[in-house]
């Protein structure tokens, strides 16, 4: 190689100003995790911290144990959830997210690529840098696509907020914290002990 030659810079397959679909998403060969929300690319700011991972793990384990032998199935990120609004064609889907945890009770929504359609329950654990994405952008697409229940956990504050879909709009619960037992209206009989959930956050 000549001293003046430099390796070609690999260009990213997307732009922060572009609008993309799931068909585009499938062609990207990248190492980082990205999500599409209404055609816009959202990067994961950084690898989740230890507290985030502990809380997500605790919720997943509780759900996994409870759902064993039942029709609903729980998945943990990375797991693509495609949220079509009009058409299920890859070229028409512009929202592909990777919830920290999701529960799907309709087996027809599950395929080799992940989930096609709204999960019954989505759990997102907040991390520094992703709060706006979870609290605004994902809230809107989860509500719009028909996710029946959306749990938002703030591990640093040890709180949990439940949004329940009623007449196509989310109704917010009170803020739950240490000492509370949180029941799911969608996963019948499932109760989460927050004292146990947040034991690794102190």
CATH number for the domain harbouring residue 36: 3.90.1570.10
Identify whether the C-beta of residue 41 lies closer than 8 Å to the C-beta of residue 34. yes
pLDDT at 45: 67
DSSP string, 74-108: EEESS--EE--SS--STTT---EE--SEEEE--GG
pLDDT at 48: 82
**Beta-carbon contacts of residue 64 (< 8 Å; ≥ 6 apart):** 74
Residue 6 placed within a domain: no
**Which stretches of the chain drop beneath a pLDDT of 50?**
1, 3, 5-10
Residue 69 placed within a domain: yes
Give the helix ranges, DSSP H, for the chain. Answer: 22-25, 50-67, 131-132, 139-145, 194-197
Residue 1 placed within a domain: no
Please give the residue range of the domain that contains residue 116. Answer: 22-200
Residue 32 placed within a domain: yes
Identify whether the C-beta of residue 131 lies closer than 8 Å to the C-beta of residue 137. no
pLDDT at 72: 98
CA pair distance 71, 199, nearest whole angstrom: 30
pLDDT at 67: 98
Say what the pTM is: 0.90
Total domains present in the chain = 1
pLDDT at 49: 87
pLDDT at 6: 45
pLDDT at 129: 66
Residue 106 placed within a domain: yes
pLDDT at 148: 98
pLDDT at 136: 87
pLDDT at 201: 62
pLDDT at 10: 47
């Amino acid at each position: 190689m000549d001293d003046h030659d430099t390796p070609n810079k690999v260009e990213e397959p997307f732009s922060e100003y572009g609008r993309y679909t799931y068909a585009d998403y499938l062609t990207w060969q990248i190492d980082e995790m990205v999500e599409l929300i209404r055609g816009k690319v959202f990067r994961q700011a950084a690898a989740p911290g230890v507290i985030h991972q502990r809380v997500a793990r605790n919720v997943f384990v509780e759900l996994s144990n409870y759902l064993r032998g039942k029709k609903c199935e729980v998945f943990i990120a990375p797991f693509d959830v495609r949220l079509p609004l009009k058409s299920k064609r890859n070229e028409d889907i512009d929202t592909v997210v990777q919830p920290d945890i999701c529960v799907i009770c309709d087996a027809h929504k599950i395929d080799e690529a992940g989930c096609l359609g709204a999960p019954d329950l989505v759990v997102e654990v907040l991390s520094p840098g992703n709060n706006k994405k979870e609290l605004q952008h994902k809230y809107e697409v989860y509500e719009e696509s028909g996710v029946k229940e959306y749990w938002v956990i703030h591990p640093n504050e040890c709180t949990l907020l439940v949004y329940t879909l009623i007449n196509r709009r989310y109704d917010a619960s009170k803020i739950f914290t240490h000492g509370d037992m949180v029941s799911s209206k969608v996963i019948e009989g499932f109760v989460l002990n927050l004292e146990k959930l947040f034991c690794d956050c102190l």
